[in-house]
Amino acid sequence: MSEPILEISNLRRLFDVSKPWLERVITREPRQLLTAVDEVSFSINKGETFALVGESGSGKSTVAKMVVGLLQPSGGTVRFAGVPEGERPRPGMVQMIFQDPYASLNPRWRVADIIAEPMIVTGARADAASRANRVAELLTLVGLSPRDGDKYPHQFSGGQRQRIAIARALSSEPEFIVCDEPTSALDVSVQAQILNLMRELQERLGLTTLFISHNLAVVRHMAHRIGVMYLGRLVEVQESDALFLAPKHPYTRLLIDAVPNLAEIGRDRVPVQGEVPSPINPPAGCTFHPRCPVAMPICSRERPVFREDAACHALTPQASAAE
């Protein structure tokens, strides 16, 4: 197995959602902190795609933004291989592909300028001629024409704009790419094309990827390993095939059970009950216990620790026997 290129340890992120100071003084209300990410730890090996999945509000995108440096952690560490602790990776080593390809592209710039910008910022290509040649190569690599470099983003379809975003991410020759739901804003007919392109580029260029998605069908197609998040916490991490064949955490089982499957038409399915609790005031113990079909009294008292690739009291024989 290759060495980890990224190691995340006890990562936390809090957001202050309090009312303005004067209003709090008048009403005598305390500060309110929203826990978006709570003690998340995992590593990603070189050449691997590691996916984070979960319902909206589980903290997936917040983790992604802390990895690329758009947000600073409230606690814990994000460390890349070969980078001293406390320092950021070299410029251009880490890039991000965003969810909305139109919002992430400057509408006033030509495509060639958009793709060349990371090379200018990082100094990857010193002269204009070299950058122009590289832009043409990248456009061809993602299935577009070098002549498309003279156009503006609004002249392309959603799938083509995401190809431009991929080309921009590759222009600084990164080692690590974060994909934050890169196909969720696209038509279903285009999603498969973009996903296949990303897999092909990863194999050809030896890229390492953190893939964020709420779509388990997409994740199964893309990821080598999958981490499941719930209310800011990591509840299960397994190899992709193992997770779908034998999920261990009750939340993971319910998520997989909700995925449409033509081979299982007519089978009774158990939907995820209830709503996601408020991250401002999360439940004590296991945060999933108010919605869990196998919850025990200990689940509301003690926070489970990772054991056998998942954090669940039901996987601990001593806890089950005691209850």
Q: Is residue 286 part of a domain?
A: no
Query: In terms of residue numbers, what domain contains 157?
Result: 4-82+90-259
DSSP for 16-71, written as a single string: E-PPPHHHHHHHTPPP-EEEEEEEEEEEEETT-EEEEE-STTSSHHHHHHHHHTSS
Q: Is residue 12 part of a domain?
A: yes
pLDDT tens for 255-309 read: 888 776 655 555 566 666 667 788 888 888 899 988 888 888 999 899 998 887 8
Q: Is residue 104 part of a domain?
A: yes
Q: Is residue 290 part of a domain?
A: no
Residue where the block lists tokens 């890039």: 95
Q: Is residue 316 part of a domain?
A: no
Q: Is residue 323 part of a domain?
A: no
Q: Is residue 118 part of a domain?
A: yes
Query: Poorest-confidence range of 64-78, 223-237, 260-274, 285-299?
Result: 260-274
Cβ-proximal residues to 158 (8 Å cutoff; 6+ apart), any chain: 101, 102, 185, 186, 187, 190
Give backbone dihedrals phi and psi of 9, rounded to 5 degrees, phi first. -130, 120
Q: At what angle do helices 128-141 and 111-122 cross, to 10 degrees?
A: 120
* pLDDT number for residue 87: 80
pLDDT tens for 130-178 read: 999 999 999 999 999 999 999 999 999 988 999 999 999 999 889 999 9
* pLDDT number for residue 295: 86
Residues 32 and 280 sit within 8 Å (Cβ to Cβ): yes
Count of domains for the chain:
1
Burial class for 283, CB neighbours closer than 10 Å (0-12, 13-18, 19+): middle
What average pLDDT does this structure show over 200-213? 91
Question: For residues 265 and 250, what is the distance between their CA atoms, to the nearest angstrom?
Answer: 22
CATH of the domain at 207: 3.40.50.300
Q: How far is CA 234 from CA 84, 118, 306, 317, 318, in A?
A: 26, 33, 9, 21, 22
Residues 66 and 38 sit within 8 Å (Cβ to Cβ): no
What pTM was estimated for this model as a whole?
A: 0.88
pLDDT above 60 for 245: yes
Residue where the block lists tokens 């996903």: 195
Question: For residues 112 and 136, what is the distance between their CA atoms, to the nearest angstrom?
Answer: 8
Question: For residues 149 and 156, what is the distance between their CA atoms, to the nearest angstrom?
Answer: 11
Q: Is residue 33 part of a domain?
A: yes
Both structure tokens of 240: 């992709």
Please name the helix (run of DSSP H) or strand (run of DSSP E) that holds residue 179, with its range, or none. Answer: strand 176-180
What average pLDDT does this structure show over 26-40? 90
* pLDDT number for residue 265: 56
Question: For residues 108 and 105, what is the distance between their CA atoms, to the nearest angstrom?
Answer: 9
First to last CA, the chain: 40
What DSSP designation does 296 have? -
Question: For residues 155 and 136, what is the distance between their CA atoms, to the nearest angstrom?
Answer: 18
Please name the helix (run of DSSP H) or strand (run of DSSP E) that holds residue 251, with its range, or none. Answer: helix 250-257
Higher pLDDT, 275 or 65: 65
pLDDT above 90 for 208: yes
